[in-house]
Structures are given as structure tokens and as C-alpha cells.
């Protein structure tokens, strides 16, 4: 039996994570601060940084050391940083592959060219665009969702929202013409899935329509 202090409230969310995407226009102190804002969550958190060259990564490392000195949760942050990585690359294809495959809970885009990347970044729990949008704003003030998918789940699900607590019913009604227009599609799909009863549910209806049509035709001839 779970005690009150062990009840999970963020499921299916797991350890917190952030991916910071920066370039030479980014302030190294801000990059480091955003990485640490995730690293201080817990021992198993993770911060990933993508930058174009080692020079910028070295500046960020210097800032990390400096900001860690007086961080109250330094022990957590240090452990988290052991799980973290800095990737130096200018290869656009590789960058997009990393972001979309990692599917970060938080993606902090610390560059000035969001419009050039927006259409190709498909997997992230929540995106923070520009130097004035820290992840902590999403936690406390900007109003966006804070219960987000982690561990790569952003590839397939979104964060918890109002829709998660709503019940929806879908309705459909086909006319005879609409049914006949879709019938061949349904039959082919059912056949390929090996679901013969699905296919027969269509065939029997078609046969019924054909039989009804013949009867109407015969009655018309008799008259």
C-alpha cells in the first residue's frame, strides 16, 4: 500500500530532461543556467546541449562550473550532469535526427533562426524559443503544460492537457451511396488484415442492396 508521500502525480512522465540547441548568438551563461535548471531536479535528470563548435562548449563548461559553486542542489546537479552530453556539430541532418529521435521533454531553442527549423522539429514535449524563454517560465508562469512526456515518449504522445480529462464520442452514419463508395476500400483492407468477418459485414450489405434492387426491378416490370 502506498503512503501519501509516495503517490505519483506526473505519470507517465519520468526523470526530467532538457535539450538546449544553441549557436554563437547564444549567451554561454544562459545556456549553462538552462542546463542546470533541469540538472537540479534529481540524480537521474539529463541535460543535452547541441552547439556548432567546441569553443562555445568550453565557454558553457566554464559557466557550469561557476554556477555550480553556490547552487543549493549542487549534489543533484552534479550527478545529473554525469548523465548529460554536449554534442558539437554543424550538420543539419544530424542535428534534426538527434532532436527528433531524443524527443526531449523540454527543447530550449537558444538561437535566432527558429523559423528555419520550425517545420522540421517534430518531436518535443514543449519548446522554449529564444533567450527570453527559460524552461522555468513554462514551469511556473507562462501557462503552458507542465506535465510532459519523457524518455522519448514525445515521439508519440503529448503532455497532459484539458483534453486528457474529457470524454469524447464519435458518431458516423453512411447513406447507401456513401456505403457503396467505401465498400471496396473496406473489403480490401479487411482482406489484407485477414479479418473475414469484417469483409463479410460489407458483402452481406451489398448483397442485400442488390437483392432489394432486383425486387424493385421485377415489381416495376410486373406493373
CATH code, domain carrying 197:
1.20.5
Q: Average the pLDDT over 15-23 and give the result.
A: 94
Q: Let me know whether 211 and 116 are in one domain.
A: no
Q: Let me know whether 135 and 213 are in one domain.
A: no
Q: Let me know whether 55 and 146 are in one domain.
A: yes
Q: Average the pLDDT over 16-22 and give the result.
A: 95
* Residue 169 within a domain: no
- CB–CB of 154/123 below 8 Å? yes
- Model pLDDT, residue 149: 85
* Residue 187 within a domain: yes
Q: Average the pLDDT over 155-181 and give the result.
A: 88
Q: Let me know whether 98 and 153 are in one domain.
A: yes
Residue (of 160, 164, 162, 148) closest to 19 by Cα position: 148
Burial annotation 86-101 (CB, 10 A radius, 16+ → b, else e): beeeeeeeebeebbbe
Q: Let me know whether 152 and 195 are in one domain.
A: no
pLDDT band at residue 3 using 50, 70 and 90 as cut-offs: very low
Q: Let me know whether 154 and 180 are in one domain.
A: no
Decide if pLDDT at 13 tops 70.
Answer: no
Q: How many domains does the chain fold into?
A: 2
- Model pLDDT, residue 129: 96
Decide if pLDDT at 5 tops 70.
Answer: no
Q: Let me know whether 134 and 216 are in one domain.
A: no
Q: Let me know whether 151 and 181 are in one domain.
A: no
Q: Let me know whether 23 and 65 are in one domain.
A: yes
Q: Average the pLDDT over 150-164 and give the result.
A: 85
Q: Average the pLDDT over 68-80 and give the result.
A: 94
State yes or no: is 106 an active-site residue.
Answer: yes
Q: Residue 37 is part of a domain; what is its CATH number?
A: 3.40.50.1980
* Residue 15 within a domain: yes
DSSP string for residues in the chain: ---GGG---STT--S-EEEEEE-TTS-HHHHHHHHHHHHTT-TT-EEEEEES-HHHHHHHHHHHHHHHTT-TTHHHHHHHHHT-EEEE---HHHHHHHHHHH--SEEEEESS-HHHHGGG----SEEEESTT--HHHHHHTS----S---TTGGGT-----GGGG----------HHHHHHHHHHHHHHHHHHT-HHHHHHHHHHHHHHHHHHHHHHHHHHH-
Q: Let me know whether 98 and 30 are in one domain.
A: yes
* Residue 107 within a domain: yes
* Residue 52 within a domain: yes
Select the more confidently predicted residue: 23 or 168. Answer: 23
pLDDT band at residue 6 using 50, 70 and 90 as cut-offs: low
* Residue 117 within a domain: yes
Q: Let me know whether 136 and 180 are in one domain.
A: no
**Cross-strand pairs, 18:** 47, 106
Residue 33: partners with Cβ closer than 8 Å, 6 or more residues away: 63, 67, 134
Q: Average the pLDDT over 119-127 and give the result.
A: 95
116, three cell numbers: 528555419
Show the domain range for 45. 8-160
Half-sphere exposure of 59 (CA within 13 A, CB side): 16
Decide if pLDDT at 2 tops 50.
Answer: no
pLDDT band at residue 4 using 50, 70 and 90 as cut-offs: very low
Q: Let me know whether 136 and 34 are in one domain.
A: yes
pTM for this structure? 0.78
State yes or no: is 105 an active-site residue.
Answer: yes
Strand 106-110: give its sheet, edge to edge: 85-88, 46-51, 17-22, 106-110, 126-129
User: Which of the following is catalytic: 17, 40, 41, 105?
Assistant: 105
* Residue 167 within a domain: no
**Among residues of the chain, what percentage have pLDDT more than 90?**
69
pLDDT band at residue 222 using 50, 70 and 90 as cut-offs: confident
Decide if pLDDT at 1 tops 90.
Answer: no
Q: Which residue has the cell 505519470?
A: 11
User: Which of the following is catalytic: 75, 106, 192, 210?
Assistant: 106
Amino acid at each position: 500500500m502506498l503512503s501519501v508521500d509516495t503517490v505519483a502525480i506526473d505519470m507517465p512522465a519520468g526523470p526530467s530532461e532538457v535539450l538546449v540547441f544553441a549557436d554563437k548568438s547564444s549567451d554561454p551563461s544562459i545556456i549553462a543556467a538552462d542546463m542546470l535548471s533541469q540538472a537540479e531536479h534529481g540524480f537521474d535528470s539529463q541535460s543535452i546541449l547541441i552547439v556548432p563548435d567546441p569553443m562555445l562548449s568550453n565557454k558553457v563548461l566554464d559557466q557550469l562550473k561557476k554556477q555550480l559553486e553556490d547552487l543549493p542542489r549542487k549534489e543533484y546537479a552534479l550527478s545529473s550532469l554525469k548523465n548529460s552530453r554536449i554534442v558539437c556539430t554543424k550538420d543539419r541532418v544530424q542535428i534534426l535526427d538527434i532532436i527528433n529521435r531524443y524527443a526531449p521533454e523540454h527543447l530550449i531553442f537558444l538561437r535566432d533562426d527558429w523559423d528555419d527549423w520550425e517545420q522540421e522539429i517534430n518531436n518535443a514535449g514543449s519548446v522554449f524559443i529564444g533567450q527570453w524563454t527559460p524552461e522555468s517560465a513554462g514551469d511556473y508562469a507562462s501557462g503552458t503544460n507542465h506535465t510532459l512526456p519523457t524518455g522519448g515518449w514525445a515521439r508519440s504522445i503529448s503532455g497532459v492537457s484539458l483534453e486528457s480529462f474529457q470524454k469524447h464520442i464519435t458518431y458516423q452514419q453512411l447513406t447507401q451511396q456513401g456505403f457503396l463508395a467505401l465498400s471496396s476500400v473496406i473489403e480490401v483492407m479487411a482482406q489484407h488484415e485477414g479479418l473475414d468477418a469484417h469483409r463479410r459485414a460489407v458483402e452481406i450489405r451489398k448483397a442485400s442492396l442488390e437483392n432489394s434492387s432486383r425486387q424493385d426491378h421485377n415489381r416495376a416490370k410486373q406493373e
